[in-house]
Chains A and B, each alone.
Chain A
Amino acid sequence: MPATLRTAAFGAAVAAFAFAPASALAQKKYDTGATDTEIRVGHIVPYSGPASAYGVIGKTEEAYFRMVNDNGGINGRKVKFVSYDDAYSPPKAVEQVRKLVESDEVLVVFNPLGTPSNSAIQKYLNAKKVPQLFVATGATKWNDPKHFPWTIGWQPSYQSEALIYAKYLMKEKPDAKVVVLYQNDDFGKDYVKGLKDGFGAKASMIVAEESYEISEPTIDSHIVKLKATGADVFISITTPKFAAQAIKKLAEIDWKPMHILSNVSISVGSVIKPAGFENAQGILSAAYAKDAADPQWQDDPGMKKFLALLDKYYPEADRLNTSVVYGYGAAQTLTKVLEMCGDNLTRENIMKQAANLKDFTPDTLLPGVKINTSTTDFAPIEQLQMMRFKGEKWDLFGDIISGEAGH
């Protein structure tokens, strides 16, 4: 009899032992890349090659997650941030992302940069059902939850921004004659499409378009040609080097149209200052993030946190570089999503939470700009505020405008 009893007791003990972790497992759910102590996050960015200037985004994000880990991690789990160089080359991006997913076994691929690189990895990640979270490109095509439920954008799309300019012009200058100078690539073309969509039936307001190749040494001839059309609004869809050239050339040939500059080139340090402050007065643009150089944010609690992070974890960062501000905001958004996931760290739940952000405001975004997503809206930031260059800085004006594009 005692023997049976002992067996029964043993059996009960085994059963208890076997069931205890099972009930715990019911609450904690993991996919590859997440454990009780760690969340592995994969990332690619060009640290080398033609677009290596964006490498600071990766460094800022790395600094941000170090801070998160020093403060105890996310729900007790440390973030392991694995970041590789793709040199802005699509084949290299595929290789590195496959390495992240299959060899490093990351839970998500976060903030991969560049339209070509993201196009190259999109199909693979969606087939593997690995989240391609908060891609760092402004193309509109990332907001397509129906066909690519594992891909989600972050920053306002180029089309959203262009829509905002079109709205502004139709309200403020309904009889404007608009000319557009754009870079002949996906960035420029997306933008022009946004403008035309924005003008809608009044697309004839655009009297001329000129495109330039990124390899052209100067864009002077295009500007002279555009002046000859007698237009009174000049929209400059240019990257920093060309934006500065355009501002200078306009002053040189004494042409003073209303000048609208794309958000890509609003950096005071690398565009406006080289072009000359006196030439840049009155230029219009739109922003969604705070500018670290702007004194109005000196006492802003969000920017104070941003600067404190840089001081402690990334002291060599250039505080005026908009990419640093960008990386901070993106990393904070991922942290928020992972917090929302709680102990259910499956890839499916991560996409569910990423599509469930409601009025979330990272520290570095303009007050009033909020991140909102839903199962049908994979474009987190869609709001911008217009601003005018005055003196040596941008002055924000008007309301926060929403430019929802692509749906």
Chain B
Amino acid sequence: MSAVEEAANEAPAVEAVPKRAMTLGYGTSLVVLALLIIVPMFLKNFFVFQLTMLLIYALAVLALNILTGGSGQFSLGQSAFYAVGAYTSAILMEHMGVNYALTLPVAGIICFGFGFLFGQPALRLSGIYLALATFALAVAMPQLLKLGFFEHWTGGVQGLVVTKPDAPFGLPISQDRWLYYFTLVVSIGIYIASVNLLKSRSGRAFMAIRDNEIAASAMGVDVALYKTLAFGVSAGITGVAGGLGAIAVQFVAPDGYTITLAISLFLGMVVGGVGWLPGSIVGSAFIIFVPNIAEHISKGLSGAVFGVLLFLVIFLVPHGARQVAMVAQQMLGKLKKN
């Protein structure tokens, strides 16, 4: 069997999601946005910090969602891009005194380049093989960061401590709250850009490749270009998330970016619903809060409790938050008719 036949017969790795089902309606978006703006005003700093992390991981999950849900490519290597973004921001801030806000675009661009380049060899791989190649990247990254060669910049195993920015213009809000709103603005910008990207010509090309590579190339889509582009965009957004993460946590060290992080992000995507961008925030909430709940239930068996909860989610709502949202929408529709 030739490679072409093999590709043609292969079941699509990711279920086709129609374009319109990828986003939220206008009204719902506004409600969510209003909640995200108002709620933190009434919370303690610690919860604001947690919400900041929620947004940051949501960005990273969103990035993976564009790659997997959009173009149908798997990646278990997102932690590597996240680490590169985090280190870029940390090094620029601590060694070169660059303003934190300016480090984010740099982190994004460097990670875009990194992801684009990694996408080149990844072109030859698909499905689980691609997942394995990216897995290798995630495993290698913490060790690369420890290399003596980079130690002057990365701080080696000791990591780098990052200074947390104060609110500008003497605004009377705490560092945590300022950072939250800063992250919120960045996240909204990236979310809108991502939604538009998927609605655009490029987005349609991604989805055509996801649904059927051969058909897409017959339609004149440059498969190689768009596949690597998807990798680049995904890595770039992950890099920005990594940079924000470094600023929020105030510390980068190789141990923070292990394969566990990559798997968490993957988990977040599945729980949120593959290919459904608003699900990213639900997935992110799952990977941040559910381990804490599990620990609350049993300290010694927290891993097992987490496993059970995850199993329940996958078993009851295999399409994640998207399924819940759709069911809710249908019920609302019925109510309106009555």
Contact = CB atoms under 8 A, between A and B. Distances in A.
Contacts of A70: none
Interface stretch (A113-121, A160-168, A364-372): A113-121
Interface of A: 47-49, 55, 83-85, 87-91, 94-95, 98-99, 101-103, 115-116, 119-120, 122-124, 184-186, 189, 213, 215
Nearest to A188: B157
Contacts of B245: 91
B146 interface: yes
B46 interface: yes
Contacts of A98: 45-46, 49
Contacts of B44: 102-103
A116 B249 contact: no
Contact of A115 (B45, B50, B158, B161): B158
Contacts, number: 82
Given A89-B256, A90-B256, A123-B250, A186 B157 contact: yes
Interface in B209-267: 245, 249-253, 255-256, 258, 260
Given A98-B46, A120-B256, A122-B161, 9 more contacts: A48-B302, A55-B300, A85-B295, A85-B299, A90-B251, A98-B45, A103-B44, A115-B158, A123-B161
B159 A102 contact: no
Interface residues of B, number: 29
Contacts of A101: 46
Interface of B: 44-47, 49-50, 53, 143, 146, 156-159, 161, 245, 249-253, 255-256, 258, 260, 295, 299-300, 302-303
Given A89-B256, A99-B46, A124 B250 contact: yes
Q: Is the interface of B mostly helix, strand, loop or mixed?
A: helix
A91 B249 contact: yes
Nearest to A49: B260
B24 to A, nearest CB: 28
A90 B145 CA distance: 15
A125 to B, nearest CB: 11
Contacts of B253: 90, 116, 119-120
B284 to A, nearest CB: 13
A84 B159 contact: no
Contacts of B158: 115-116, 119, 186
16 contacts: A47-B299, A47-B302, A48-B303, A83-B299, A89-B255, A90-B253, A91-B245, A91-B249, A94-B250, A95-B50, A102-B44, A102-B46, A116-B158, A116-B253, A120-B249, A124-B250
Contacts of A116: 157-159, 253, 255-256
